[in-house]
Each structure stands twice: as C-alpha cells, then as structure tokens.
C-alpha cells in the first residue's frame, strides 16, 4: 500500500541520518581515528541494522569530506593535513567577514529569541573550553556557530560554514587529545562574540571572529613547529 511504502521510506531516511550522526560523533570523539578503515558490513553489524541505510549514511559522510570511499575496500576516516586546516580557517574567515558586512546593513543582527539560544550555547561552550572539557566543548561549539550563522539568512552559506566547522574539529581532535597544554589552545571567546552581536556592533563582531581565526592559525603554527 502507498502508505506503508511512505512510512518505510521515512524510517529508512531517519535511520540513515541517525547512523550518520552517530558515526560523526565517533569521529569527533576520536574513537574513529584518521585513516581508520571499515566496511559497510562492520558498521551494520555494530548497529544491528541492514546494509542499505549504513551505506547511504557513509556516502553522506563522504560527501561532507569526513570519509574516503574505496569501491573495493570500504571506507576510511579522512586524514586532514595542517595545510587543509589552514585552508579551512582562511575560507571561514573570508566567508564570515563578508557575511557580517552584508548582515550589518539590516540593522539588528539577530532577533531576541534567537539571541537567547545562541547566548546559552556560548556560555556552555566557553565554560567547557575554560575547563578543558573537549567532549562537551565540541558539541556546544558546533551548535553555537550553526545558530550564529543564521544571521546571514543564506542556507548555502550556513551549510558551508557548518561543514567547515565539523571538518576543523575532525582535524583538531586527535592533536588536542594528545596535548598536555590542551586548555591553552581551546578558544573560549564565544561570549565576547555574542556580546558584540547583542550590541549590533558589526565591526566588533568581525574583530572577535578575526581573533578566533588568529588563535586557530597560531595553533596550526605550533603543530608545524
């Protein structure tokens, strides 16, 4: 019956997304490491599901640049280089700077309700960064930037920035977890960005985000040394 077919499609789509989200979390947590290989069957067995939604989820993650696919060997976690990371930061800087210049022409950068949610994310992210709690920080940081990017009112830019944010964390996680100076390199300026946004001060927002990017590039310099 048509109704049953539609329900099956929705269920499979939901399962596909759940698996993709779970695997992304595994990568961000460092449990799936750069270069680590696996097959569709291994993941299907791990989650107790059929191969189809797993294959679709892995293809989705490959399209996001998080996995590499090999038709005969399965998939492996993509291994980003320091040069890749620098390019991510540069791309983010160029897009965000232009986006905020454009958004400033509207007057108010963000409405009160959206601002409340972003402020909560900022507080939690900054608290986790200061405490050196990487696991908590990653989730709040990704949600913070995703919600803040709503300012630009352009879904293509929002998705692009979200993709860069996740990729940057995928690169950074293995290095940060092994770094005894972890807390020194966790950026905690989320609240400063929010305060500038709340004031509608586009120049200050851009200055805070430049500081964020400079912090990331300084960390990349340290990795290269």
Query: pLDDT for 198-225, tens place per residue?
Result: 888 888 888 999 999 999 999 999 999 8
Task: Let me know whether 100 and 21 are in one domain.
Answer: no
* Mean local confidence (pLDDT), 77-88: 97
Task: Let me know whether 26 and 129 are in one domain.
Answer: no
Tokens describing residue 152:
């630009």
Parallel, antiparallel, or unpaired for β 74-77 and 67-70?
antiparallel
Unique residue bearing structure tokens 């200055």 = 207
Task: Let me know whether 63 and 128 are in one domain.
Answer: no
What is the tally of structural domains in the chain?
2
Task: Let me know whether 22 and 72 are in one domain.
Answer: yes
Lowest-confidence pick of 13-27, 92-106, 112-126, 168-182: 92-106
Task: Let me know whether 71 and 132 are in one domain.
Answer: no
Task: Let me know whether 181 and 205 are in one domain.
Answer: yes
Q: What is the CATH number of the domain that holds 161?
A: 1.20.120.530
End residue of a domain, out of 44, 77, 110 = 77
Task: Let me know whether 97 and 208 are in one domain.
Answer: yes
Confidence at 104, pLDDT banded by 50, 70, 90: low
Position 73 scores a pLDDT of 80
Task: Let me know whether 51 and 154 are in one domain.
Answer: no
pTM to 2 decimal places: 0.88
Q: What is the CATH number of the domain that holds 70?
A: 1.10.10.10
Task: Let me know whether 6 and 88 are in one domain.
Answer: no
Position 114 scores a pLDDT of 84
What is the tens place of the pLDDT at every residue in 167-178?
999 999 999 999
* Domain with 73 in it: 2-77
Position 5 scores a pLDDT of 47
Position 151 scores a pLDDT of 85
> Does the pLDDT of residue 28 top 80, yes or no?
yes
What percentage of the chain reaches a pLDDT higher than 90?
73
Q: Which of 144, 142, 148 is nearest to 103 (CA)?
A: 148
End residue of a domain, out of 50, 77, 104 = 77
Task: Let me know whether 52 and 158 are in one domain.
Answer: no
> Does the pLDDT of residue 10 top 60, yes or no?
no
What percentage of the chain reaches a pLDDT higher than 70?
91
Task: Let me know whether 7 and 90 are in one domain.
Answer: no
Q: Which of 115, 117, 129 is nearest to 183 (CA)?
A: 129
Position 7 scores a pLDDT of 47
Which residue blocks in the chain are alpha helix, DSSP H?
2-28, 40-47, 51-63, 82-103, 112-131, 134-148, 155-177, 190-198, 202-224
Position 70 scores a pLDDT of 82
End residue of a domain, out of 54, 77, 100 = 77
> Does the pLDDT of residue 21 top 90, yes or no?
yes
Task: Let me know whether 29 and 132 are in one domain.
Answer: no
């Amino acid at each position: 019956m048509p109704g049953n077919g539609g329900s099956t499609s929705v269920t499979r789509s939901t399962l596909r997304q759940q698996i993709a989200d779970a695997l992304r979390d595994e990568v961000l947590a460092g449990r799936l490491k750069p270069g680590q290989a696996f097959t569709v069957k291994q993941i299907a067995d791990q989650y107790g599901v059929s191969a189809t939604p797993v294959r679709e989820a892995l293809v989705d993650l490959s399209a996001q640049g998080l996995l590499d696919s090999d038709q005969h060997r399965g998939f492996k976690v993509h291994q980003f280089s320091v040069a890749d990371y620098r390019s991510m930061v540069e791309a983010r800087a160029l897009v965000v700077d232009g986006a905020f210049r454009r958004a400033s022409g509207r007057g108010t950068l963000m409405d009160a309700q959206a601002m409340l949610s972003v402020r909560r994310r900022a507080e939690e992210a900054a608290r986790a960064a200061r405490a050196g709690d990487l696991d908590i920080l990653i989730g709040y940081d990704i949600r913070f930037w995703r919600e803040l990017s709503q300012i630009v009112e352009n879904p293509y830019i929002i998705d692009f920035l979200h993709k860069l944010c996740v990729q940057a964390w995928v690169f950074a996680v293995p290095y940060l977890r092994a770094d005894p100076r972890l807390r020194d390199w966790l950026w905690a300026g989320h609240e400063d960005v929010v305060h500038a946004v709340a004031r509608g001060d586009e120049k200050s927002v851009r200055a805070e985000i430049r500081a964020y990017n400079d912090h990331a590039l300084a960390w990349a310099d340290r990795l290269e040394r």
